[in-house]
Amino acid sequence: MNAEPSIAECVARNLERYFRDLEGEKPSAVYDMVLAQMEKPMLQVVMTQAKGNQTAAADILGINRNTLRRMLTQYELL
């Protein structure tokens, strides 16, 4: 039985596909794009794990609760 790919492997594979799919077009703002694509689902899963408790979610993420609240607002998850 094969182990599930790591998050890093998934990111690498998808970035390779992204660059390949550009077909010669110049990439831009890749850093922000990757963060946005990863942050929202991460926040959704962590908030589910924390049963909606922002303090618990912030602890799980290792970030300040105010930072979490800003991110939840940014991704329209409140």
CATH assignment at residue 47: 1.10.10.60
Residue 1 lies in a domain: no
Residue 2 lies in a domain: no
Whether the predicted pLDDT of 2 surpasses 90: no
Whether the predicted pLDDT of 1 surpasses 90: no
Residue 13 lies in a domain: yes
Amino acid 57: pLDDT: 98
Number of domains in the chain: 1
- Where in the sequence is the domain holding 23, given as residue range(s)? 7-74
* Torsion of Cα atoms, 69 then 40 then 63 then 30, to 10°: -120
Amino acid 24: pLDDT: 87
| Token pair belonging to 9 | 């492997």
pLDDT digits (tens, 9 = 90+) for 18-46: 999 999 899 999 999 999 899 999 999 99
